[in-house]
Copies of this chain bind each other. A is one copy, B any other.
Amino acid sequence: MKKILIAGGAGFIGSHLCDRLLDRDDVEKCVVVDNLWTGLKENLDHIRDPRFVFKKSDIETFRTSERFDEVYHLASPASPPWYMAEPKRTISANLMGAFRLLDLLVDNGRFCFTSTSEVYGDPLVSPQPESYRGSVDCTGPRSSYDESKRCTEALLFEMQRTKGLDVRVVRLFNVYGPRTRRDDGRAVSNFLTQALSGQPITVYGTGDQSRSWGYVDDIVDGLERFFWRSPHDYRGPLNVGNEREISVLDVAKYVSSLTGGTPIVHKPPVPQDPTNRRPDLTIARRVLPGWECKVPYEEGVRRTLDWFQEGWKPSAVA
Contact = CB atoms under 8 A, between A and B. Distances in A.
Interface of A: 85-88, 91-92, 95-96, 99, 102, 119, 121, 133-141, 143-144, 146-148, 150-151, 153-155, 157-159, 161-162, 169, 237
A115 B87 CA distance: 19
Given A87-B162, A88-B159, A96-B99, A153 B134 contact: no
A148 B154 contact: yes
Interface centre among A91, A140, A154, by most chain B C-beta atoms within 10 angstroms, is A154
This chain's copy number in the assembly: 2
B144 A155 contact: yes
Contacts of A162: 85-88
Contacts of A158: 87-88, 91, 141, 143-144
17 contacts: A87-B154, A87-B155, A87-B161, A88-B159, A88-B162, A91-B158, A95-B151, A96-B99, A133-B137, A138-B151, A139-B237, A143-B153, A144-B154, A146-B154, A147-B147, A147-B154, A148-B154
Given A95-B95, A141-B158, 10 more contacts: A88-B158, A92-B99, A133-B138, A134-B138, A138-B154, A140-B157, A143-B158, A146-B154, A147-B150, A151-B151
A119 B138 contact: yes
Secondary structure call for the A interface: helix
Contacts of A121: 133
Contacts of A147: 147, 150-151, 153-154
Given A96-B99, A133-B121, A150 B151 contact: yes
Nearest to A169: B139
A155 B88 CA distance: 6
A102 B96 CA distance: 15
Contact of A153 (B95, B135, B139, B159): B139
Task: Point out which of A88, A144, A147, A150 has the most chain B C-beta atoms below 10 A from its C-beta.
Answer: A147
Contacts of A154: 87, 91, 138-139, 143-144, 146-148
